[in-house]
Amino acid sequence: MPVPIEFTPEAVEAASGPDAFQPYETFLRSRQPVDSIVESNPWMRTPATKDEIVWGEGRYYDTTVGRKHPYWKDFDLPTPTKDLHQLRRDLFEWGFCLVEDALSADQVRQTRARLVEQAAAEREAGIDYPGGSFQLICSLINKGEIFPKFLEHDPEVVQGGPVIERLLDETLRKGWCVFSFTANISYPGCMPMGLHQDQGAINPFQTPEAPVDVTTMYILEDVDERNGTLIVPTSHKLIPAVGSGNKVGKLPPTIHVEAPAGTVLLFDGRLLHGTSINRGDDWRYVMVQPSMKPWVRSQENFMLSTDPRVLENASPKLLQRIGMQGTGGLGNAEGFGNRGTGRAGDPAGSMAAARAFLTAGDYRHVGELTVDEAQRLAEDRYTLQVLQREREGRQPGQRNHYW
């Protein structure tokens, strides 16, 4: 029988011309809010080369800290505080808050020393990731025993952890996952990074009701107008207010974050921000950890990247945060995880258990199977069978009934 003519590639193409009913095309192709941000605010355009850096004309990277800024100095912008009530209000109102002394002086010293060493070693080995704006250290989770503890908000490495964790849980709901965990080291004379929203992975969707990301930045030296991160206060409300896919109008000016070493900057994933030019003499070390709704595909593929030794020692909390708790809705494999709740420590969703088989080179996938073969199947022919018995409590030989 010939294939019906309507199903041929030529017919599908012919029925998809400019007159076809394609209700989502304009929205999906809109490239908003990114295009209109620069159209409406030409001073926000990212320079392509060092030759294009211009001072004295109000470009986004040519700014100062809030309290000295002609536009912002009369506003009550956030300053570092330990008061959780104030931090909540700041994050909601301005799109960012500053947790004062989130790291003690010792914690700053220890963390910074490890990063300085790792960054130098990766450059020396030629395995580094240089960028126009910074050296990036990826997969911190594997690069020192302190780093997984940051993802758990362990007060041993970050004394303000309980406050940070609370703010993330309240803004994203418990069950959020780590999007990536990196260090971002801007160097003297680097280029400014383009302004962006950290939840840009879901563009052109905007989420006026609440963010799907909150980013944690661990500040490891004093930052100000020389080397502070650029942010546009209130842009977390102004950009989503126009609606998904629509054009953004004029935005208020950028400022540099001003904070002493040990401060943690938390910012809303809808807030416009970027690494600035480093006009100081030293390399500026910060660690960046976006936290996302668990349905956003993570930037770092922790399932692949995490060192088996880190996994062996990982707490249930850490495993959940790096996306290793499967559910019927998210992150299952071959069906395993379908019965998981997504909660830390739930054996029925332990994707780390499945990953351990892969690491050992011993993962055996279910493939094409006949009833005849199934009747002669060994009980541990497939990894899935082992996981089902050990993690879901299925009995050997158990058959499920559908009637």
The piece of 18-26, 130-138, 195-203, 375-383 that touches Fe ion (CB under 5 A) is 195-203
Which of 198, 213, 258, 300 touches Fe ion (CB under 5 A)? 198
Going by the DSSP 8-state scheme, the letter that residue 14 receives in this structure is: H
Q: Which residues of 15-39 are buried (b: 16+ CB within 10 A; e: fewer)?
A: eeeeeeeeeeeeeeebebbbebbbe
Q: How far is the CB of 290 from Fe ion (least distance, A)?
A: 7
Q: How far is the CB of 84 from Fe ion (least distance, A)?
A: 24
Q: Please name the residues in contact with 248: beta carbons below 8 A apart, sequence gap of 6 or more.
A: 32, 33, 36, 37, 40, 238, 239, 242
Q: How far is the CB of 57 from Fe ion (least distance, A)?
A: 25
Q: Work out the burial of residue 313: count CB atoms within 10 Å of its CB; fewer than 13 is exposed, 13-18 middle, 19 or more buried.
A: exposed
Cβ atoms 213, 260 nearer than 8 A:
no
Q: How far is the CB of 191 from Fe ion (least distance, A)?
A: 15
CA angle, 123 as apex, 122 and 127 as ends, to 5°? 55
Which residues within the stretch 138-177 sit at the binding site for Fe ion (CB under 5 A)? none
Q: How far is the CB of 87 from Fe ion (least distance, A)?
A: 20
Q: How far is the CB of 164 from Fe ion (least distance, A)?
A: 17
**Alpha-carbon distance values, 149 to 144, 183, 346 (Å):** 10, 15, 20
Q: Which is nearer to Fe ion, 198 or 225 (CB)?
A: 198
Binding-residue total with Fe ion (CB under 5 A): 1
The piece of 192-200, 260-268, 313-321, 349-357 that touches Fe ion (CB under 5 A) is 192-200
Which residues within the stretch 221-260 sit at the binding site for Fe ion (CB under 5 A)? none
Secondary structure of 284-308 as H, E, C letters: EEEEEEEEECCCCCCCCCHHHHCCH
**Alpha-carbon distance values, 26 to 18, 40, 243 (Å):** 12, 20, 14
Q: Which is nearer to Fe ion, 101 or 198 (CB)?
A: 198
Q: How far from each other are the two terminal CA atoms of the chain, in whole angstroms?
A: 37
**Alpha-carbon distance values, 65 to 50, 53, 57, 248, 276 (Å):** 23, 19, 17, 24, 12
Distance CA 191, CA 194 (A): 9
Q: Which is nearer to Fe ion, 200 or 345 (CB)?
A: 200
| Interaxial angle between packed helices 161-172 and 84-94, expressed in degrees from 0 to 180 and rounded to the nearest 10 | 40
The piece of 9-17, 198-206, 223-231, 373-381 that touches Fe ion (CB under 5 A) is 198-206
Widest pairwise Cα distance in the chain:
79
Which residues within the stretch 8-27 sit at the binding site for Fe ion (CB under 5 A)? none
Q: Which is nearer to Fe ion, 101 or 268 (CB)?
A: 268
Which residues within the stretch 281-310 sit at the binding site for Fe ion (CB under 5 A)? none
The piece of 103-111, 197-205, 246-254, 368-376 that touches Fe ion (CB under 5 A) is 197-205
In this chain, which residue has its C-beta nearest to Fe ion? 198
The piece of 86-94, 191-199, 250-258, 310-318 that touches Fe ion (CB under 5 A) is 191-199
Q: How far is the CB of 12 from Fe ion (least distance, A)?
A: 40
Structure tokens at 276: 């600035």
Q: How far is the CB of 107 from Fe ion (least distance, A)?
A: 23
Distance CA 87, CA 158 (A): 17
The piece of 55-63, 110-118, 196-204, 375-383 that touches Fe ion (CB under 5 A) is 196-204
Binding mask 317-346 for Fe ion (x = CB under 5 A): ------------------------------
Q: How far is the CB of 225 from Fe ion (least distance, A)?
A: 19
Beta strands in 106-181 (DSSP E): 129-130, 135-137, 177-178
Beta strands in 45-133 (DSSP E): 96-99, 129-130
Q: Which is nearer to Fe ion, 198 or 300 (CB)?
A: 198
Does residue number 62 form part of the binding site for Fe ion (CB under 5 A)?
no
Q: How far is the CB of 46 from Fe ion (least distance, A)?
A: 13
Q: Which residues bind Fe ion (CB under 5 A)?
A: 198
